[in-house]
A and B are shown apart, each in its own frame.
Chain A
Amino acid sequence: MNTALAILLQTLLLLALAPLISGCIKTLKAKLQNRRGPRVWQPYLDLLKFLRKDMVISEHASWVFRVMPHALLLSTLLAGLMMPLVSVSAPLSLFGGVLAFVGLLALGRFFLALGGLDPASAFGGMGSSREMAIAAIAEPALMLAIFTVAIKAGSTNLSQMLLAAQAPTWQLLNPAHVLAFAALFIVLLAETGRIPVDNPATHLELTMIHEAMILEYSGRYLALIEWSASVKQLVLMALLVNLFFPLGIATDLNAGAVGLSLLWFVAKLLVLSALVVLVETTNAKLRLFRVPDLLSAAFILATLALLSTFLFQ
């Protein structure tokens, strides 16, 4: 019963908080560029509007096109349920650790890319092809950085990894963790389609990745996809802030502790968002074939992180 309640609450938290973080990033970015920008809750209004719109579906599309938004949302939510957000024990921590987390995100991406190919448009195929290529080269860096932390914690269970980070042996400036964090930050930019890799604000055919894949989607399906994208962004950011800065996270489950932990969690997310915004504003988008250089830098950072666990054990 408790687990069911935890699943329900965390699902609601994921769905409610994710658009807010997207909104904050947009507003913050506008402020940093001397624009007024949209309001923070604009993403909620967007989702509401999409949900109420009629849909136009391509005549070439099959059932894969209709299944995709649901598969994407469910797999992203399931991944989110494995991630400890405000309490150390995630609702689904027994059902899967960090490997299942990465696997579920990959499942969502798999369907997303198929959804891009389904309506027989060149844009969709282009987006799918680029998305899968970039995800493929981001994956080893992501996994190696996670392995470094998992090996130190002695478990791939995210709740256990968090608990190990809270033990007194924890040092914030441990070289392995610093390097792994840097690697994961780059992967975060790639996986959430942020500026050096993809530009979330553009609809220019030749540069876009994520937007190209979902070009044929409209109405309710588009809302589900956008929502999933922001939930994915939220859980990946949660992976970074909670794993490397487990500050203030609740270890016991009473209302006060959880409330305080929620405040901490949002504050940490905002700091990380500010960091993302800073990178987005000070950098130009990379050419597609420069992205592998960036991601191999992430891989090298992760390898160094691993090496340093060996050297400084």
Chain B
Amino acid sequence: MVDLPPSTLLQCALCAYMGGALGSLAALRREHLASLVGFGGATVASVCGIGAALLALTGGPAAGATTFELWPSVIPALRLGVKLDPLGAFFVLIVSILALALSVYSFGYARGFYGRKNVGLLGAFYNALLLATTLVFVASNAFFFLIVWEIMALTAYCLVSFEHKEAETRNAGVLFFIMSHLGTGCLILGFLLLFQAAGQALGSYGPDAYSFESFRALGSNLSPGRRDAAFLLFLVGFGVKAGIVPLHIWLPAAHPVAPSNASALLSGVMIKTGIYGLTRVLFDFLGTPPNWWGVTVLTIGTISAVLGVLYALMEHDLKRLLAYHSIENIGIILMGLGAALMFLHTDHPVLASLALIAGLYHTINHAIFKALLFLGAGAVLHATHTRNMEEMGGLIKRMPKTAFFFLMGAVAISALPPLNGFVSEWLTYQSLLQGFGTTDSLVKLMFPLSGAMLALTGALAAACFVKAFGITFLGQPRSEHAAQAREASPTMLLGMGLLTAACVFLGLFPTVFLTLFGPLTQQLLGQPLPGRLILGNGWVLGNTQELGGTVSTLGIVLTGICLLPVPLVLWLFFGRRTQVRIGPTWDCGLRGLTPHMQYSATGFSKPLRMIFKALFRPRREVQREYDYSPYFATTLRFESHIEEAFVTRLYRPLKRSILLTSRRMRGLQAGSIQAYLIYIFVTLLLLLIFAL
């Protein structure tokens, strides 16, 4: 057996991504070859990446040797340092699993672009995004981190704007670009703060001062003011990328317009870089947190979860709906992280590790089921050429396998047992409930209340996915396109099948997967895996408490299989002679049903739109035209529209005032050299006065 150190595998992965990107650029003119090279390279790379991450997480003997430099840099003071520590390895695992399934899927999916768009470019951007994202997770100093962070943002922008002929796509791309740079600006300031403090502590401002190693050494030694400032800067900076409310507005605009394999990558992995950054900074760098940090993160998480799912419910654009669900799930992840911060403050490291595990477990789960759902939506889009659910329907008959995979993803994201979404939300509930006992202040009420909001989120998500699956796949086709849809190609199905298998594995065997978290909690919290987490020879998932709640999804499924004879016995005893007749759906004795008599997506969400009317403020317009009397209308036009309150109340006034200010500033730029010379002189003068 060859002893492969994780670093070699990681280097292989990085080279393969690079090769895939360059190869598909080289084969620009030959679409089939470009797709083969590009996605083939990513497939190889992702397998290497999975290997590297698993080796690093299971902590083989070579796990220590995971620090290396990519190549000697030519720029002084810049080191392209890479370190594969457990936290980074965990996220590399997420990105690699997704990259594997997505690349397999892309072989078939890219065919939809042949002759229409440049597949070579798609492959190049796709590989570059994967490469940059992998490097974000393993960069070991702030300088290098920011460089790959920006490369990631730029390639993501290129993917979002891939179908740039449509105005919607271009606008979404620009919005993404602006928001992303707002975030990066905050990150640069945050890292500068840490850099300055580290430089002071080390006595030199050399390359060591911006390495993550020296940030870690700072810890609680930072002055409280600086720590709080750094916390806020990083929260905004990483929060934009993660899509927390109210910094989320770019997400539902940008993710849907990208090609579906890229949407899956953006929603599955790229927003997780925000979670990675927050985890890295809050648990690794900034030391013991004050209470308000945890409270803030938990509150933001709760609000994001509830608002994300509420806005998702109102969407009937299939991909936008999924994008809003990403906001919801980021919220759920942040609930875990926020609770962990609060436990660190009250000095409950075991509980903190439970909450952190809950958050990170939901991170990988969300990556997988969200990618699965985006791939399903992509297959539907591929077949029907529309993202509008109101024009779909009946696809389960035409695309049975896609429908099955989408249904599995829907069950998983709705946190229903026995799939993976349930397991991580169960862990989140457990940590929230135990949080009640950790403190005596009124703050403890936050835990069960956010638990109740998590319940609301889960139930609304279930309602939303009944709508998404039911309107898209069930019933009668609502348009010609939907009626003539074809099943997706085998590679696309294989990609979705891989992710479905991952959902089932993470749902049924959480205890196997959770062992990987041991090194991670050891690294971040100095704690081994909570001892009572895995019970009953790995059959049962527990929590940290004696006699606390337990759950075993595998046990539930097996008992369910044992109960299968119940309906069978009933049939054998009573119903053996009965017959099944296929007949028309009940139409109240009228002339027969048309597809337009079915419930629509808008109709389905109407009760919730009415219930949460104060939030949505729906605008509706009804126009009726009639010949003789208003009671006998000849045509009826109905229009209903919902705009996000954040857009109308926050961003639009902001945009207006920025435009107004810049228009006023324009007066300064008169174009005369004399005026500019005066500006320079005055600035110099002011600087001199300031320097004295």
List residues of A whose CB falls within 8 A of some B CB: 7, 11, 15, 48, 51-60, 62-64, 69-70, 73-75, 77-78, 81, 92, 94-100, 102-104, 106-107, 109-110, 113-114, 117-126, 128-130, 132-144, 147-148, 150-151, 154-157, 160, 215-216, 219-220, 223-224, 288-289, 292, 299, 302-303, 306-307, 310
Contacts and interface: CB of A to CB of B under 8 A. Distances in A.
B416 A107 contact: yes
B396 interface: yes
Contact of A7 (B549, B562, B574, B608): B562
A113 B461 CA distance: 13
Given A139-B459, A140-B456, A155-B548, A54 B417 contact: no
A213 B426 CA distance: 29
A100 B560 CA distance: 13
B463 A95 contact: no
A301 to B, nearest CB: 12
Given A95-B555, A122-B598, A133-B611, A219 B575 contact: yes
B212 interface: no
A256 to B, nearest CB: 28
B578 A220 contact: yes
B603 interface: yes
Given A60-B476, A110-B411, A157 B548 contact: yes
Contact of B453 (A104, A133, A140, A148): A140
B417 A107 contact: yes
Contacts of B622: none
Interface stretch (B321-329, B330-338, B355-363, B582-590): B582-590
B76 interface: no
10 contacts: A54-B581, A57-B581, A60-B476, A100-B422, A117-B470, A119-B475, A137-B611, A154-B548, A220-B575, A292-B611
B583 A56 contact: yes
Contacts of A54: 578-581
Given A121-B597, A129-B603, 19 more contacts: A11-B566, A59-B585, A64-B396, A78-B556, A92-B559, A95-B555, A97-B551, A100-B551, A107-B411, A123-B586, A125-B603, A128-B604, A129-B467, A135-B463, A136-B456, A140-B453, A216-B586, A219-B575, A292-B611
Interface string B426-453: 1001100100110000101100110111
A78 B587 CA distance: 36
A105 B578 CA distance: 30
Nearest to B464: A132
B608 A133 contact: yes
A55 B579 CA distance: 6
Contact of B436 (A99, A124, A133, A151): A151
B595 A120 contact: yes
Contacts of A102: 455
Interface in B186-214: none
Interface in B465-480: 465-467, 469-471, 473-476
Interface in B405-437: 407, 411, 414-417, 422, 426, 429-430, 433, 436-437
A106 B470 contact: no
Contacts of A219: 575, 578
B462 interface: yes
Nearest to A97: B549
B646 interface: no
A95 B559 contact: yes
B545 interface: yes
B49 interface: no
Interface string B156-184: 00000000000000000000000000000
Nearest to A151: B436
A160 B309 CA distance: 33
B580 A139 contact: no
B348 interface: no
Given A94-B552, A310-B442, A128 B470 contact: yes
A119 B585 contact: yes
B411 to A, nearest CB: 7
B570 A223 contact: yes
B622 to A, nearest CB: 19
In the complex, which of the residues A11, A60, A160, A299 has the most CB atoms of chain B within 10 Å of its own CB atom? Answer: A60
Given A52-B574, A58-B583, A121 B451 contact: no
B536 interface: yes
Contacts of A48: 574
